[in-house]
Amino acid sequence: MNVIPTPIPDLFVIEPRVFRDERGYFLEHFNEEKFINAGFHYRFVQDNQSKSSQGVVRGLHYQLAPFAQTKLLRVIQGRVFDVAVDIRKNSPTFGNWYGIELSDDNFLQLLIPKGFAHGFSVISKTAVVQYKCDNFYNSSAEKGILYCDKSLDIDWHVDPKLILVSTKDKMLPDFDNAEMNFLYGDN
Protein backbone atom coordinates (compact mmCIF):
# COMPACT_ATOMS: atom_id res chain seq x y z
CA MET A 1 0.00 0.00 0.00
CA ASN A 2 1.36 3.38 -1.02
CA VAL A 3 0.12 6.47 0.88
CA ILE A 4 0.21 9.61 -1.28
CA PRO A 5 -0.24 13.01 0.41
CA THR A 6 -2.39 15.64 -1.31
CA PRO A 7 -1.93 19.42 -1.15
CA ILE A 8 -4.51 19.47 1.67
CA PRO A 9 -3.28 18.33 5.11
CA ASP A 10 -4.74 15.02 6.36
CA LEU A 11 -6.27 14.11 2.97
CA PHE A 12 -4.56 11.11 1.33
CA VAL A 13 -4.71 9.02 -1.81
CA ILE A 14 -4.24 5.32 -1.09
CA GLU A 15 -2.70 3.21 -3.83
CA PRO A 16 -3.13 -0.50 -3.11
CA ARG A 17 -0.65 -3.03 -4.39
CA VAL A 18 -2.20 -4.82 -7.36
CA PHE A 19 -0.97 -8.24 -8.48
CA ARG A 20 -1.74 -8.88 -12.14
CA ASP A 21 -1.19 -11.85 -14.37
CA GLU A 22 -2.88 -13.55 -17.32
CA ARG A 23 -5.80 -14.60 -15.08
CA GLY A 24 -6.64 -11.07 -13.97
CA TYR A 25 -5.69 -9.31 -10.76
CA PHE A 26 -5.76 -9.48 -6.96
CA LEU A 27 -5.55 -6.69 -4.41
CA GLU A 28 -6.32 -5.95 -0.78
CA HIS A 29 -8.54 -2.88 -0.84
CA PHE A 30 -8.34 -2.65 2.96
CA ASN A 31 -6.00 -4.14 5.54
CA GLU A 32 -6.40 -2.78 9.06
CA GLU A 33 -2.84 -3.66 10.11
CA LYS A 34 -1.35 -1.82 7.12
CA PHE A 35 -3.53 1.20 7.83
CA ILE A 36 -2.42 1.29 11.46
CA ASN A 37 1.22 0.94 10.40
CA ALA A 38 0.67 3.91 8.05
CA GLY A 39 -0.56 5.98 11.01
CA PHE A 40 -4.30 5.72 10.33
CA HIS A 41 -6.28 4.65 13.38
CA TYR A 42 -9.81 4.50 12.04
CA ARG A 43 -12.31 1.84 13.00
CA PHE A 44 -14.63 1.46 10.03
CA VAL A 45 -18.17 0.45 11.04
CA GLN A 46 -20.27 0.88 7.91
CA ASP A 47 -19.82 0.13 4.20
CA ASN A 48 -21.88 2.00 1.59
CA GLN A 49 -22.29 1.49 -2.14
CA SER A 50 -23.96 3.55 -4.84
CA LYS A 51 -24.51 3.16 -8.56
CA SER A 52 -24.95 6.27 -10.69
CA SER A 53 -25.30 7.20 -14.36
CA GLN A 54 -22.99 9.42 -16.38
CA GLY A 55 -23.31 13.09 -15.47
CA VAL A 56 -24.60 12.47 -11.95
CA VAL A 57 -23.06 14.68 -9.27
CA ARG A 58 -23.54 13.56 -5.67
CA GLY A 59 -22.58 16.00 -2.96
CA LEU A 60 -21.14 17.92 -1.38
CA HIS A 61 -22.07 16.00 1.80
CA TYR A 62 -20.86 15.67 5.40
CA GLN A 63 -22.17 15.07 8.90
CA LEU A 64 -21.58 17.52 11.74
CA ALA A 65 -19.46 16.50 14.72
CA PRO A 66 -19.82 14.43 16.84
CA PHE A 67 -21.43 12.34 14.07
CA ALA A 68 -18.81 13.18 11.42
CA GLN A 69 -17.46 10.37 9.27
CA THR A 70 -14.04 9.51 7.91
CA LYS A 71 -14.50 7.80 4.54
CA LEU A 72 -12.31 5.48 2.51
CA LEU A 73 -13.64 5.64 -1.04
CA ARG A 74 -13.03 3.49 -4.10
CA VAL A 75 -14.67 2.78 -7.45
CA ILE A 76 -15.44 -0.84 -8.28
CA GLN A 77 -16.97 -0.16 -11.71
CA GLY A 78 -16.50 2.85 -13.99
CA ARG A 79 -14.87 6.22 -13.36
CA VAL A 80 -15.66 9.18 -11.11
CA PHE A 81 -14.08 12.53 -10.37
CA ASP A 82 -13.97 12.55 -6.58
CA VAL A 83 -13.81 15.82 -4.63
CA ALA A 84 -13.09 16.69 -1.00
CA VAL A 85 -13.48 20.24 0.35
CA ASP A 86 -11.65 21.30 3.51
CA ILE A 87 -14.28 22.71 5.93
CA ARG A 88 -12.07 22.80 9.04
CA LYS A 89 -11.94 26.32 10.43
CA ASN A 90 -8.36 27.57 11.01
CA SER A 91 -7.02 25.09 8.46
CA PRO A 92 -4.40 26.56 6.12
CA THR A 93 -6.47 25.12 3.26
CA PHE A 94 -9.96 26.02 4.56
CA GLY A 95 -12.31 26.26 1.58
CA ASN A 96 -9.87 24.55 -0.81
CA TRP A 97 -10.84 21.44 -2.71
CA TYR A 98 -8.93 18.50 -4.09
CA GLY A 99 -10.17 16.29 -6.90
CA ILE A 100 -8.92 13.02 -8.35
CA GLU A 101 -10.15 10.45 -10.84
CA LEU A 102 -10.93 7.14 -9.17
CA SER A 103 -11.66 4.18 -11.40
CA ASP A 104 -11.85 0.43 -11.70
CA ASP A 105 -8.65 0.69 -13.77
CA ASN A 106 -6.43 2.74 -11.44
CA PHE A 107 -7.66 1.18 -8.13
CA LEU A 108 -6.87 4.44 -6.28
CA GLN A 109 -8.75 5.24 -3.10
CA LEU A 110 -9.32 8.56 -1.34
CA LEU A 111 -9.10 8.71 2.45
CA ILE A 112 -11.30 11.62 3.50
CA PRO A 113 -11.11 12.45 7.22
CA LYS A 114 -13.70 14.21 9.33
CA GLY A 115 -13.91 17.90 8.53
CA PHE A 116 -14.30 17.55 4.77
CA ALA A 117 -17.32 17.85 2.50
CA HIS A 118 -17.36 15.13 -0.13
CA GLY A 119 -18.85 14.66 -3.56
CA PHE A 120 -18.23 13.01 -6.91
CA SER A 121 -19.28 13.16 -10.53
CA VAL A 122 -19.69 10.18 -12.82
CA ILE A 123 -17.50 10.47 -15.92
CA SER A 124 -18.17 7.02 -17.37
CA LYS A 125 -21.46 5.52 -18.62
CA THR A 126 -22.17 4.28 -15.09
CA ALA A 127 -20.11 3.97 -11.91
CA VAL A 128 -20.32 1.93 -8.74
CA VAL A 129 -18.72 3.62 -5.74
CA GLN A 130 -18.02 1.84 -2.50
CA TYR A 131 -16.84 3.46 0.72
CA LYS A 132 -16.12 2.63 4.32
CA CYS A 133 -17.19 4.98 7.15
CA ASP A 134 -15.88 5.17 10.70
CA ASN A 135 -19.22 6.40 12.07
CA PHE A 136 -22.82 5.51 11.36
CA TYR A 137 -25.15 7.59 9.20
CA ASN A 138 -27.13 10.10 11.25
CA SER A 139 -29.82 11.99 9.34
CA SER A 140 -30.08 14.75 11.97
CA ALA A 141 -26.38 15.60 11.51
CA GLU A 142 -26.44 15.47 7.69
CA LYS A 143 -25.33 18.72 6.02
CA GLY A 144 -23.98 19.82 2.68
CA ILE A 145 -22.75 22.52 0.36
CA LEU A 146 -24.15 23.37 -3.06
CA TYR A 147 -22.13 21.49 -5.69
CA CYS A 148 -22.00 24.52 -8.01
CA ASP A 149 -20.97 27.12 -5.42
CA LYS A 150 -19.15 29.84 -7.36
CA SER A 151 -16.67 30.53 -4.54
CA LEU A 152 -15.45 26.91 -4.70
CA ASP A 153 -15.45 26.83 -8.52
CA ILE A 154 -15.20 23.04 -8.72
CA ASP A 155 -14.61 21.59 -12.18
CA TRP A 156 -16.70 18.40 -12.05
CA HIS A 157 -15.30 17.17 -15.40
CA VAL A 158 -18.87 16.96 -16.73
CA ASP A 159 -20.55 19.31 -19.18
CA PRO A 160 -22.63 21.59 -16.88
CA LYS A 161 -25.65 21.16 -19.20
CA LEU A 162 -25.53 17.38 -18.65
CA ILE A 163 -25.13 17.35 -14.85
CA LEU A 164 -27.82 15.40 -12.97
CA VAL A 165 -28.30 16.39 -9.31
CA SER A 166 -30.92 15.34 -6.78
CA THR A 167 -33.52 17.89 -5.73
CA LYS A 168 -32.14 17.68 -2.20
CA ASP A 169 -28.58 18.51 -3.36
CA LYS A 170 -29.83 21.43 -5.49
CA MET A 171 -31.22 23.02 -2.31
CA LEU A 172 -27.99 22.88 -0.28
CA PRO A 173 -26.56 26.22 0.90
CA ASP A 174 -23.48 27.83 -0.60
CA PHE A 175 -20.14 27.53 1.19
CA ASP A 176 -20.47 30.82 3.09
CA ASN A 177 -23.87 29.84 4.52
CA ALA A 178 -23.26 26.16 5.25
CA GLU A 179 -23.27 24.98 8.84
CA MET A 180 -19.81 23.68 9.83
CA ASN A 181 -18.46 22.79 13.28
CA PHE A 182 -14.98 21.48 12.52
CA LEU A 183 -11.68 22.90 13.73
CA TYR A 184 -8.34 22.12 12.17
CA GLY A 185 -6.42 19.70 14.37
CA ASP A 186 -9.51 18.10 15.94
CA ASN A 187 -9.41 14.94 13.80
Tell me what the pLDDT averaged over the chain comes to.
96
The alpha carbon of residue 91 and the mean position of all alpha carbons in its chain are separated, in whole angstroms, by 18
pLDDT of the residue at 187: 61
Domain ranges for the chain, please list them: 2-183
- Active-site pick, 42, 61, 98, 118: 61
17 pLDDT band (50/70/90 cuts)? Answer: very high
Burial class from Cβ neighbours inside 10 Å (0-12, 13-18, 19+) for residue 157 reads middle
62 a catalytic residue: no
- Active-site pick, 62, 98, 131, 147: 131
pLDDT above 90 as % of the chain: 95
**3, pLDDT greater than 90:** yes
- 60 preceded by cis ω (within 30°)? yes
Average pLDDT over residues 6-35: 94
Of 187 and 154, the one with more pLDDT: 154
Average pLDDT over residues 71-92: 98
The 10s digit of each residue's pLDDT in 96-109 is 999 999 999 999 99
**185, pLDDT greater than 90:** no
CATH number of 2-183: 2.60.120.10
Task: Please list, in sequence order, all residues whose beta carbon lies within 8 angstroms of the beta carbon of residue 12, skipping any fewer than 6 positions away.
Answer: 3, 4, 5, 6, 110, 111
Q: How far apart are CA 119 and CA 145, in angstroms?
A: 10
186 pLDDT band (50/70/90 cuts)? Answer: confident
pLDDT of the residue at 163: 97
Q: What angle do CA 134, 178, 183 make, to 5 degrees?
A: 55
**28, pLDDT greater than 70:** yes
Three-state secondary structure call for residue 21: strand
61 a catalytic residue: yes
**40, pLDDT greater than 80:** yes
**180, pLDDT greater than 70:** yes
